[in-house]
Amino acid sequence: MKDWALLVELGGVVLLLAIASRLAARYGFSPIPLFLLAGLAFGEGGVIPLVTAEGFIEAGAQIGLVLLLFSLGLEYSAHELVGSLRTNAVSGVVDGVLNFTPGFLAGLVLGWGATASLFLGGVTYISSSGVVARLLDELGWMGNREAPTVLSILVIEDLVMAVYLPVVTILLVGGTAGSLAGSIALSFLVVGGILAVAARYGPAISRAVFSHSDEALLLAILGLLLLTAGLTERLNVSAAVGAFLAGIVFSGAAADRAQALLRPLRDLFAAVFFVFFGFQIDPGSIPSAAPAALLLALVGVGTKLATGWWSARRAGVGPRARWRAGTALVARGEFSIVIAGLAVAAGLEPELGPLAATYVLILAVAGPILARVADCRRAAPRPAS
Amino acid sequence: MTDVNEVRLPGVGVRYEFVTSRGARVAVIHHRSGLRELVVYDETDPDTSREILRLDADDGRTLVDLLGGSHVAQELTKLQQSVEGLAIDWLPVPAGTPYSERTIGDTQARTRTGTSIVAVLRGDEAIPAPGPELQLHVDDTLVVVGTPRGIEELVVILRTG
């Protein structure tokens, strides 16, 4: 009987993740690195390789990816996206150039193809909105003058992903220059179309879906979400982008309720997603990837510090706040894994997975630590929450 | 009213900032989750805030009540809209009133006019739902609820007894 084995394995995995999450909360850092480590331990060549639960974890990882991006999209309204672009577009460009280039060049230096290098550029580029937003909140930085700048950069990065992900997904499939251009044009049409629908009919759709019954609302939103994700994947736009855009379409009461209803599901499946990523990596390949990852991480800290410093100065805040903005942006996390995950699933470049995992392991931990160091007003007593 | 500066925090909510008459910079952060944060800025570094309080929606309302009582007024307006023929008024306790330093009970407002005194505004302070034992002072403002006619009668009673 395999049924009991599946349940036991799943139970063991989830329980281990619970312990990891608890540890992370206790010491105030993101649980993502621990989830990745757990995945490494469960995978082939790991400490306790899983046998029966693999299929479930793979499917769960896909749902996790969709939920992760959907809830990210829910956070923003189309209005906020446009507003951020208007005020901080220049910072967004600086952020992109400074942080994408190191990864892209590193890929080329390592002798990877252009496509794999594009993926590594994406991995080094994008900050973890999840980790950064939580950091701002925990350190009480939301009131600080640099907070809007930092948040706007995150919004722009996420929006860039809506363009970046379809492009790299199509490059992954490959083809002639002509067919690539055609697919890319089509995907932009899809993205543009969904954004236009969001701006125009978002509120109406949200009202139509909204129901006072939690069950009906949850099922309706989950159904629409998986459908959108699946169909956009079919159009080569990537399920991740479809889910993100679907999140933007929803707003108002439907979005608030959906956010609350989906949170437990998202937490569970997102954890599964990170585990699955670690799962696909052979732990034996980590040591050889570590030097490059460490070097890239050092550069990645520097370029994000520069980005935050420059953008905050542009917003007219003082030196200390500029450093805070820089340190807040250092953490990389879920999005880097999402990007690397696409390449790993396609079997693009065997070194990319271990390199990205190590890179995120380092920066998901280093980012919050740096931010706490920059937070020199620790001496002030913290109020009770 | 003081100039309130509104700053959007994408994905989080909105921050409202203002400078108090004594020069302190204060902000209230409205999180979309319903959480409210009250922060005060460092005097030497205007970029750095210090969190004073985290409040949920209920706490926020309580604090507003304690600070100014505008919530009382809001609730009354709502009430007035829902009950036809109900009037709400703000009546000053006039100089020369026979009820100065006497209690609400002494006015027998409800028995004589059917009008209820639902709050007393004294200086910057608001006393919601005062008991009959509360002493009135000249220059208090009474928030009263009743029929328009009853309120007119109460005005006369306050002036002449």
A140 to chain B, any CB pair closer than 8 A? The answer is yes
Angstroms from B24 CA to nearest CA on chain A? 14
Angstroms from A57 CA to nearest CA on chain B? 30
A138 to chain B, any CB pair closer than 8 A? The answer is no
- Joined together, the tokens standing for residue A99 give 């942080």
CATH class of B70-160: alpha beta
Q: Which residue has the tokens 């790993």?
A: A344
- Joined together, the tokens standing for residue A45 give 């060549």
Alpha-carbon span A15 to A13, nearest angstrom: 5
- Please state the φ and ψ torsions of residue B140, each to the nearest 5 degrees: -65, 155
Structural domain spans, chain A:
77-269+283-375
Please report, as a single letter, which amino acid is at residue A303: T
Closest-CA residue of B relative to A75 is B11
Q: How far is residue A118 from each of residues A1, A89, A169, A309, measured CA to CA in Å?
A: 46, 22, 11, 26
Contact residues on chain B for A151, CB-CB shorter than 8 A? 9-12
Q: Answer whether 0.80 is exceeded by the pTM.
A: no
Q: What is the pLDDT at residue A375?
A: 80
- Joined together, the tokens standing for residue B154 give 């109460």
pLDDT grade for A301, boundaries at 50, 70 and 90: very high
**Mean pLDDT for the stretch of residues A73-87:** 80
Write the residue in B7, B11, B31 that is nearest to A80 by C-beta: B11
Q: How far is residue A171 from each of residues A117, A166, A348, measured CA to CA in Å?
A: 12, 9, 11
Q: What is the pLDDT at residue A308?
A: 94
**Mean pLDDT for the stretch of residues A252-273:** 85
Q: Is residue A106 over pLDDT 90?
A: yes
Write the ipTM. 0.75
Given a contact cutoff of 8 angstroms between Cβ atoms, the answer to whether B158 and B150 are in contact is: no
Lowest mean pLDDT among A201-210, B27-36, B97-106: A201-210
Q: Which of B6, B48, B56 is best to mutate for the A interface (most A CBs within 10 A)?
A: B48
In DSSP terms, B54 is beta-bridged to: B37
pLDDT grade for A380, boundaries at 50, 70 and 90: very low
Fold of the domain spanning A77-269+283-375: Na+/H+ antiporter like fold (1.20.1530)
Structural domain spans, chain B:
5-67, 70-160
Q: Is residue A270 over pLDDT 80?
A: yes
pLDDT grade for A108, boundaries at 50, 70 and 90: very high
pLDDT in tens, A319-352: 889 999 999 999 998 889 989 988 888 888 888 9
Alpha-carbon span B16 to A142, nearest angstrom: 12
Contact residues on chain B for A147, CB-CB shorter than 8 A? 9, 15
**Size of the A and B interface in Cβ pairs below 8 Å:** 82
Q: What is the pLDDT at residue A302?
A: 95
Task: Identify the CA nearest to B119 among candidates B141, B137, B98.
Answer: B141
Contact residues on chain B for A142, CB-CB shorter than 8 A? 9, 12, 15, 29, 31, 37, 39, 49
Q: Is residue B70 over pLDDT 50?
A: yes
Question: Residue B43 class from Cβ within 10 Å (0-12 exposed, 13-18 middle, 19+ buried)?
Answer: exposed
Q: Is residue A174 over pLDDT 80?
A: no
Alpha-carbon span A65 to B107, nearest angstrom: 69
Q: What is the pLDDT at residue A80?
A: 77
pLDDT in tens, B100-132: 888 888 888 888 888 889 889 887 788 888 888
Alpha-carbon span B149 to A19, nearest angstrom: 69
Query: What's the count of helices (H) and strands (E) in chain A, helices before strands?
Result: 15, 0
